[in-house]
Amino acid sequence: MKTSGFKMSGNRFLILLIAFLCFSGLSQGIAIDFQNTNIFQQSTQNQGIINITPQEAWEMCSTTSDGLQFPIDVRSRSEWVAERIDTPFPEFTNTFALSALQTESGLQTFMEKYDGKNVIIYCLAGSRSATAAQILATNNFNGTIYNVEGGITAWKQANLPTKKGNTPPSQPSPPIGPDICGVEQSIIFQSLGIDPDDDVIRYGWDINDDGSIDIWSEFVESGEPIELSYIYSNPGIFNITVLIEDIVGERSAISDKKTVLVTTPPTKPTINGPNKGKVNEDLIFLISSSDVDGDNVYYLVDWGDDTGSEWIGPYEQGTSIEINHSWDEEKTYTLRVKTKDIHDIESDWTYHQISLPKMNMLQHLNRNIWHLFNSIFRVYTLSMFCL
């Protein structure tokens, strides 16, 4: 009986011991889970990932005083088009799917596009954005990585703005610019476009009417005029068009055409004439310019003494014309001449130096005697006339 009683006490003790160990292990397990969570959060912080709330993300994107932040949706493109967070320009949201980021080429594209920038990663509820942030941190992304906890779901719960769906941009105005320009001369075109959803837009320019976009602008606000500076390297007649693409990737209709005549400027004029002269001596120069289009030409002359001519001409291209001038001070002057054709396409300047050396004492004396003699002669002649 004692033995039996002892066995029962032992069983009870064993049961109590097992229960105690289970409870202790469970408690330790819970503690370990909390500890692991803290370790994970500290790990992400140490790896350059900063977890933020939707409200914090909104505040960061509502001002540029703390630098530029770039919100990036890592969901699929169809999810992003269906509904996305709405942040003000220039910190507007864009898309870069996690699936693309998980490829070598996609990761390289992201690294190059956002190098040195602050990116705010978000998804539906936070899982995919955490994965994307981890990929960037692991691959030593050169920038600051913010991860929006709770994703767009938490964003909407915080009553922050979103956009749903998309309407293509309106057709932009025809390009505005000169009708004629010269080869290798910079010209400026301007256009204006509107997006019905007030999305940011970029302008695509077709410079040579071949049906393809030659130049894309940066993204700008809807309704903001855009300018394009361009240089044609060959003469001819060119039709320029422009279209608009919004941030979602939808395009407007192509604008009406702008036609530009690109012509070859006249050659720099030649200047033939003396390099030396005397004060008040009338010096003669021959100038000439050619035009490959056979256009008549005009000349603009700057004598280097704060005097010059208006455009003179037209003259037949390739023909020399005579110009003359005198200077009243003893120094070196720079004569310069440029040419333009009948389309007002100008050449560069051509330069020619003329030196009027200083006279010695004897030359000065002779000149003064000559001026005195002339003055006396004029007075004498005038007095004789009056008599």
Tens of pLDDT, residues 120-138: 999 999 999 999 999 999 9
What are the DSSP calls for 44-97, one per residue? HHHTTEEEE-HHHHHHHHT-STT--EEEEE-S-HHHHHHEEE---TTS--EE--
Report the chain's mean pLDDT, rounded to a whole number: 86
Please give the backbone phi and psi of residue 335, each rounded to the nearest 5 degrees, phi first.
-85, 135
- Alpha-carbon distance of 32 to 374, in angstroms, equals 116
State yes or no: pLDDT of 314 exceeds 70.
yes
- The predicted-structure confidence for 164-197, as pLDDT tens digits, reads as follows 999 999 999 999 999 999 999 899 999 999 999 9
CATH fold for the domain made of 180-263: Immunoglobulin-like (2.60.40)
Domains 180-263 and 270-359 share a fold: yes
Residue 134 sits at the vertex; the CA angle it makes with 133 and 140, to the nearest 5 degrees, is: 90
Task: Supply the pLDDT for residue 350.
Answer: 98
| pLDDT interval class at 362 (50, 70, 90) | low
State yes or no: pLDDT of 11 exceeds 90.
no
Q: What is the mean pLDDT of residues 34-38?
A: 35
Domain residues of the chain, as ranges?
Answer: 49-164, 180-263, 270-359
Q: What is the mean pLDDT of residues 63-75?
A: 94
Least confident piece of the model among 25-29, 109-113, 280-284:
25-29
Task: Supply the pLDDT for residue 29.
Answer: 38
Question: Alpha helix (H) ranges present in the chain?
Answer: 2-46, 54-61, 77-82, 98-101, 104-113, 127-138, 151-157, 361-386
Q: What is the mean pLDDT of residues 6-24?
A: 46
Q: Which CATH superfamily is domain 49-164 in?
A: Rhodanese-like domain (3.40.250.10)
Residue 61 sits at the vertex; the CA angle it makes with 56 and 65, to the nearest 5 degrees, is: 100
Query: Which of the 8 DSSP states describes residue 325?
Result: E
Q: What is the mean pLDDT of residues 249-270?
A: 95
Query: SS3 breakdown of the chain: % helix, strand, coil, rounded to 5?
Result: 30, 30, 40
- Alpha-carbon distance of 306 to 205, in angstroms, equals 44
Which of 73, 169, 166 is CA-nearest to residue 122? Answer: 73
Task: Supply the pLDDT for residue 327.
Answer: 95
Residues 6+ apart with CB under 8 A from 20: none
State yes or no: pLDDT of 307 exceeds 60.
yes
Task: Supply the pLDDT for residue 339.
Answer: 97
State yes or no: pLDDT of 16 exceeds 80.
no
| pLDDT interval class at 364 (50, 70, 90) | low
Cβ 321 vs Cβ 288: under 8 Å? yes
Q: What is the mean pLDDT of residues 195-213?
A: 95
State yes or no: pLDDT of 21 exceeds 70.
no
Least confident piece of the model among 106-110, 173-177, 355-359, 378-382:
378-382
User: Is the overall model pTM greater than 0.75, yes or no?
Assistant: no
With H, G, I as helix, E, B as strand and everything else as coil, classify residue 229.
strand
Task: Supply the pLDDT for residue 381.
Answer: 66
What is the CATH number assigned to the segment(s) 270-359? 2.60.40.10
Pick 368 or 166 by higher pLDDT. Answer: 166
Task: Supply the pLDDT for residue 357.
Answer: 84
Task: Supply the pLDDT for residue 28.
Answer: 40
Residue 36 sits at the vertex; the CA angle it makes with 31 and 37, to the nearest 5 degrees, is: 100
Which of 155, 92, 145, 152 is CA-nearest to residue 121? Answer: 145
State yes or no: pLDDT of 237 exceeds 70.
yes
Residues 6+ apart with CB under 8 A from 116: 142, 143
